[in-house]
Amino acid sequence: MKTPTLLFLFLSPLAAFGAAAAPSNAKLAIAATNPLPFARASQTIELSAKDLAPLNEKDFAKVHITDAAGKEVLTQAVDTDFDAFHLPDMVIFQADFAAGESKKFTANVGAKQTFTKEQYQAFGRFVRERFDDFAWENDRIAHRTYGKGLETWQGEPLTSSTIDIWSKRTPRMVINDWYLADDYHVDHGEGADFYSAGATRGNGGSGLWAADKLWVSKNFVASRVLANGPVRVLFELDYEAFDVNGVKATETKRISLDGGQNLDHYVSTYKPATPTALTVGVGLKKVAGATKDLNTARGILTLSEKVEKNQGMQGIALVVDPRALDQAAEDNTNHLLLVKAGADNTVSYWAGFYWEKSGQFTDYASFKTYVDQFAQGLTAPVSVKVTAE
């Protein structure tokens, strides 16, 4: 009796994956419109499982998107819920839009998607060989944050849940090569790690605000990758319980970064030992002589500051939901935006940067315009209508 049971369990994932499903000849028509009066590049369009159902295909890695001219569009199947079989539940692709522009696309089923290294616009991984770093990047920016191993490294121990910056001036994915060469504090033509995040919040690290103080976790203790390019990298980090004015709380931070963007999306979920309303402080490291601009109506904080080692200037940004914004604050090392967590103790925000040597923006003013338009886009996303053909 045991052998048939084991065989059934072995075959069940294949059945759930739809291996026996008949090939589909169905197509979907996708109409996408930019509702805002300015151009928007690299806009990510998401198609849910419900949108894709008429294709009668359970393996979303077989979904292909073509534009109005019939040209194949770079498409990625994404697992957003980390279910038991890690099956994708969404398909994403990107398009550029002029002000008020509408575009049409077609979705159909074909061979399973495969990608070349050159097609990747986003990537991330756990870096055990570097004392448990987690590093991630897209074609414009790169980051890392620190795992448990770094806390006890005798060479340079660091306890911090900061978000570090790696300054890139190439659209190429560089994380693996930079770690391989192990000389990433020197610019060899593609950029380098010039930023000292230390125990600050760096570029978008967070904590809980209580008794007029920011309480922060130690290094992350577990990580899991949900999606890894070519369009989006999506992963989660777990942090052990830390003290918040006498109450213990854990955190899970979900981080995503899409190709073509200078801002990461962070979703932090806290679990306090005692039920209580939470205020989250998200921060940017203080740098001497920085120019600071705050726009509470948009929920935006930006800084213009010098890059270390005389490497020019950079712009740093935070974007939060202005409806949840409580106030701006600061401590000895960070500029902060204090945000009220939702009823589920979750807060969503965006953070990122640009480096002037990347050539991505002409100056800090143009970066501020980008951030302002990005914030407007959060409340007015590209509208998408999907119909079966």
Domains of the chain: 2-114 (2.60.40.1180), 119-358 (2.70.98)
Residue 130, classified by CB atoms within 10 Å of its CB into exposed (0-12), middle (13-18) or buried (19+), is: middle
| CA nearest neighbour of 115 among 181, 159, 64, 164 | 64
User: What order do you get walking across the sheet with 247-258 strand by strand?
Assistant: 222-228, 232-244, 247-258, 263-272, 346-355, 313-320, 300-306, 291-295
For the record, the structure tokens of 47 come out as 């198609």
Position 3 pLDDT exceeds 50: no
* Cβ(173)–Cβ(162) below 8 Å: no
Task: Give mean pLDDT, residues 310-322.
Answer: 97
Can you tell me the distance from the alpha carbon of 98 to that of 320, in angstroms, rounded to the nearest whole number?
25
Cβ neighbors of 254 (< 8 A, separation 6 or more) are 234, 235, 236, 266, 267, 268, 269
Which residue has 């967070």 as its token pair?
206
Which candidate, 48, 45, 53, 55, places its Cα nearest to that of 105? 45
> Quick one: how far is CA 63 from the chain centroid?
23
Confidence of residue 83 (pLDDT cuts 50, 70, 90): confident
Q: Is the pLDDT of residue 8 over 70?
A: no
* CA distance readout (Å), 217 to 134, 155, 199, 208, 340: 16, 22, 11, 9, 18
- Pairwise CA distance, residues 135 & 141, whole Å: 11
Q: Tokens for 190?
A: 């593609």
The pTM for the full model equals: 0.92
Report CA-CA distances (Å) from 225 to 36, 123, 140, 254, 255.
Answer: 33, 10, 20, 10, 10
Per-residue pLDDT tens over the stretch 90-116: 999 999 999 999 999 999 999 999 999
Q: What is the model's pLDDT at position 21?
A: 45
How does pLDDT run across 131-145, given as a tens digit for each residue? 999 999 999 999 999
Give 275's contacts (C-beta < 8 A, 6+ positions apart): none
Q: What is the mean pLDDT of residues 16-28?
A: 59
In angstroms, rounded to a whole number, what is the distance separating the alpha carbons of residues 27 and 211? 57
Q: For the chain, what is the mean pLDDT?
A: 93
First to last CA, the chain: 48
pLDDT in tens, 347-384: 999 999 999 999 999 999 999 999 999 999 999 999 99
